[in-house]
Amino acid sequence: MRYASANTNEQATNMSNRIPVSDFHAYPDAHGRFADYGGIFMPETLMPPLEELAAAYLAMREDPAFIAEFERDLKHYVGRPSPIYHAERLSAKIGGAQILLKREDLNHTGAHKINNTIGQALVARRMGKRRIIAETGAGQHGVATATVCARFGLDCIVYMGAVDIERQKINVYRMKLLGAKVVPVVSGSKTLKDALNEAMRDWVTNVADTFYIIGTVAGPHPYPMMVRDFNAVVGREARAQMLEQYGRLPDVLTACVGGGSNAIGLFHAFLNDREVAMVGAEAAGEGIASGRHAASLSAGRRGVLHGNRTYVICDDNGQITETHSISAGLDYPGVGPEHAFLKDSGRARYVGITDDEALAAFHELARTEGILAALESSHAVAQAMKLARELPKDQLILCNLSGRGDKDVHTIAAREGIEL
């Protein structure tokens, strides 16, 4: 009955607003719930495999041999730990707080996504599943999945919206070079959410031998927890690095939020450090007021999408509506349920960054620090720059630079009217 009286979204939000939480690391519960969010809203056919996955993963999570295997690959294959880099020239130019970058762009394949795909591929292998499916938006998760499938000798099929295939051609070719089959999705809005739908349809059809590697902290339980756990290495590392390099924790964390995996990856280790503030940067596209955005937490409402209760962007009939962002990786009408919980509990704050702000931050970082950030990550950089302007010089802002921008060079050139 806990949701039954959630008559309107206004009520729902107010009910769970500012709930006192004693231990943020105690979530989710056994049903995959982060207070009011999360859960397992899936067709019956997929419930037994989800139960099987949850049981298998919960055991592996405590298994020292599994953890050692995962950490070995993170070190020798991914190239972890990634450094924390003080963006001194950028900070000096702004003249406020110091911006520190957690360099996930330096990982193998160029983004945080590989932390998760290594983890899930190891789970799949241990469960004896040799056929891997994945969805991708920007192509980064698709590339990271194709990469680990090549590494572990697994079959790989990647679903990708036809619109995204068009705007991320280089990543499509990268996946093919790695031996993956890329299947264009032409249903619905032909973007990330539809790729997820199609991957689920594949899974329902081939449930016996197939493992679905979801690319963000969304989907039904245990995915939001499992993907978070695999990305939580980012925050664990960063927390230790901060203490070692600066003798203290950062004052504020910032990360971009599409589905929310890089953000929760950074935030998680710091959740019980109440003095550390957290700000998630969602894609405000052409501005929240324009309606062309992908800011589920800032401008969406409480609903259910892809197996979990969270904030979604939909119309009054409950139909998921098309989103917009310059970055394909943030172009998603839902968001991981743990972020919905962090928002309502007041532990983290979520704000919108427009296409133009992200682009400006991209250029600023390129010129002052010699780093081409992914357009997704540029949203986090833009937010870090905003915060730096407001905060005194001795404050430390730790920004997750979730990926590198090589994949976006064509998009940026086209937007600026340059033909390559």
Ligand X SMILES: Cc1ncc(COP(=O)(O)O)c(C=O)c1O
Question: What residues are labeled active site?
Answer: 113, 135, 402
Check binding of 393 to other proteins (CB under 8 A).
Answer: no
Structure tokens at 140: 């980064």
By CB under 6 A, the residues from 217 to 276 that bind ligand X are 256-263
Distance CA 404, CA 391 (A): 27
Check binding of 120 to ligand X (CB under 6 A).
Answer: no
User: Minimal distance in Å, beta carbon 75 to other proteins?
Assistant: 37
Check binding of 38 to other proteins (CB under 8 A).
Answer: no
* Residue range at the interface with other proteins (CB under 8 A); choices 198-206, 246-254, 255-263, 338-346: 198-206
Nearest to 137 by CA among 115, 160, 114: 160
- In DSSP terms, 159 is beta-bridged to 135, 183
174 binds, among ligand X, other proteins, none (CB under 5 to 8 A by kind): none
Contact residue for other proteins among 170, 304, 360, 366 (CB under 8 A): 304
By CB under 8 A, the residues from 107 to 136 that bind other proteins are none
Contact residue for other proteins among 130, 201, 324, 410 (CB under 8 A): 201
Other C-beta atoms closer than 10 Å to the C-beta of 410 total 15
Q: Which residues contact residue 354 at a Cβ distance below 8 angstroms, ignoring those fewer than 6 apart?
A: 284, 285, 286, 287
Nearest to 378 by CA among 349, 351, 399: 399
Residues shown for the chain: 420
Check binding of 334 to ligand X (CB under 6 A).
Answer: no
The count of chain residues that interact with other proteins, using the rule CB under 8 A, is 49
Check binding of 336 to other proteins (CB under 8 A).
Answer: no
Residue 138 or 391 having the CB closest to ligand X: 138
Residue 12 or 82 having the CB closest to ligand X: 82
Query: In this structure, what are the phi and psi dihedrals at residue 396, rounded to the nearest 5 degrees?
Result: -115, 125
Q: ∠ CA 49-51-54 to the nearest 5 degrees?
A: 110
Q: How far from 10 is each of 5, 16, 272, 274, 301, CA to CA, in Å?
A: 12, 11, 28, 27, 9
By the criterion CB under 6 A, which residues form the site for ligand X?
111, 113, 137-138, 140-141, 216, 256-263, 329-330, 374, 376-377, 402-403
By the criterion CB under 8 A, which residues form the site for other proteins?
1-9, 31, 39-49, 51, 187-188, 193-194, 197, 200-201, 204-205, 207-208, 301-307, 309, 312, 314, 316-321
